[in-house]
Structure 1
């Protein structure tokens, strides 16, 4: 059982810089897990609710940084992070910085190099949930960077969600984050297109979606199979070949045209499949289409 927020129970102290919706959720989760939590935000009033719950409000970034051995930053962007931390680099030396600000893999690696040059342990992170999901064990938070820092603070980071260690390359958390968001939007797009399609014949989204979710479980099994094929560079068409699926997508496009549904998404799939067939890969599995997304 967790102790009351803000009480000192031996849990590691943590500082949170940035109290937007996500930063506030991070600080609240740490408080709920019993971690003495110091907070700072450019607009001090955003700390009021957290201070009432037991957080210590720091007047300056320097005061916030020196309060804890673990400093979490979650602000607008990479430029804001750099502007915030550069003046307190000396105070951060010997501490661990966890950057949960969204950015690119290149920016994460740049920040890791900066941290290393100042004697700062560094982890970059990707929060794979909304603020409401912070603190839940079912929510993933991706980390990459210093293995020593991750090992030392894993228990504390677990208060924010399930901590996933992606290894020492600091850019991987941001890279995975970008890839997973792309996957999310593709799934949402496919589901919305399908919902519009069946909805044109009067099927409610609430009736269609349970069937769609069951189908996604089946599709997930193909991802595991196809991942091995991609890594091996070998695409046996022992389930459903590209040429068969190229024929099947025509049925989807026809149904959409008849119902006035925008067909640009399935048209993209048809284009990719047609190119693969024209290149002589019609007998391969769908995983072969990974080549369409790779650099020539």
Structure 2
């Protein structure tokens, strides 16, 4: 049975942690026949009460469905769980968090065992699963045919975005977005550290931060355009020389407030290096050139 035939696609889910359980509940609520397996069998019991079939082994669970979704702790857990399972003719979807290299290796591993493979990068947390308005989604990469066969089923828990035949692209873009988020949180932490000891309403300041970051976010498109064209100078409003000069004020303010600059200095150091290389008329995009190894 596929998404193009009447009825709901049966599927198997290996792994019932917080994310796996959230995925399982949404598929069950949507009427999909679901077989589940977890290393700790007790985790399957609440789902069995909702209509899931609990398999005694991972191999038994894999045998139950053409579509097999894996959401485990790490890549080593995936290999351990699937050892001994017959993957011939299966569509294997790996939602386990991993690296691009691991996804590519797992894709080759799956093909050797007769399966089509999709890797997934989940851009959501468990409470966002099954909530269409949450904005969550999953990046998928690997077999286009497998995605086209099952995309409606995969889109039941949250949005499904296919990003290419290269099995590593989902993990790569997942990690790239999470890396950007990490940098944003570093900036937020520094900003709050500057103001928290003053007579400033932190909730009001939080709204200022949201508004400011929202206003700055479109600069992302400019960065993409500059990287695509290779031109970092046309239409620049605040060039690198101006930004480096402005960093002095940021650092002095942190010193006055008794706040460490350690969250800012690595990026500022890169800006200074690019400036010393003679690129003062550029935007900040040129700093990316220093990150390649």
How many Å apart are 1:118 and its aligned residue? 1.7
Asked whether the equivalents of residues 252 and 266 of structure 1 are also in contact (C-alpha less than 8 Å), the reply is no
Aligned residue number for residue 280 of structure 1 = 278
**Other-structure match for 1:3:** none
Is contact 2:26-2:157 (8 Å) kept? Answer: yes
Native 8 Å contact 1:105 1:174 kept in 2: yes
The one-character-per-residue Cα deviations of 1:94-122 (angstroms, maximum 9, x if unpaired) are 12110011111111111101111122011
**SS state at 2:228 partner:** helix
In the TM superposition, 1:92-111 aligns within 5 A as: 92-111=87-106
Secondary structure of residue in 2 paired with 1:235: coil
Structure 1 residue matching 2:65: 3-state secondary structure: coil
Give, in whole Å, the separation in 2 of the partners of 1:192 and 1:288: 25
Q: CA deviation at 1:170?
A: 0.3
CA contact (8 A) 1:249 1:266 kept: no
**Number of the residue aligned with 1:157:** 154
Contact 2:89 2:116 in 1 (8 A): yes
Q: CA deviation at 1:174?
A: 1.1
Residues 213-224 of structure 1: pairs in structure 2 closer than 5 A: 213-224=210-221
1:192 aligns with 2:189: yes
1:18 alignment partner, one of 5, 8, 15: 15
Structure 1 unaligned residues grouped into runs of 5+: 1-8
C-alpha distance in 1, partners of 2:288/2:158?
Answer: 31
Aligned positions, number: 285
Deviations 1:53-87 (A, max 9, x none): 11111112222112211111111111110111121
- Answer whether contact 2:59 2:82 (CA < 8 A) is retained: no
* Residue number in structure 2 paired with 1:290: 288
State the shift of 1:226 in Å.
Answer: 1.3
RMSD: 1.3
Equivalent-residue separation in structure 1 for 2:81 and 2:268 (angstroms): 48
- Under a length normalisation based on structure 1, what TM-score does the superposition of the two structures give? 0.93
What does 1:51-62 correspond to in 2, within 5 Å? 51-62=48-59
Map of 2:3 onto structure 1: none
Partner of residue 248 from structure 1, selected from 241, 246, 266? 246
Matched residue SS, 2:36:
strand
Q: Deviations over 1:4-33 (max 9, x none)?
A: xxxxx8111111101111111111111122
Bigger mean CA offset, 232-241 vs 164-173: 232-241
* C-alpha distance after superposition, 1:105-149 (max 9, x if no partner): 111111101111122011001111111112233102111000000
After TM superposition, give the deviation of residue 200 of structure 1 in Å.
Answer: 2.8
TM-score (norm: length of structure 2): 0.94
Equivalent position of 1:29 in the other structure:
26
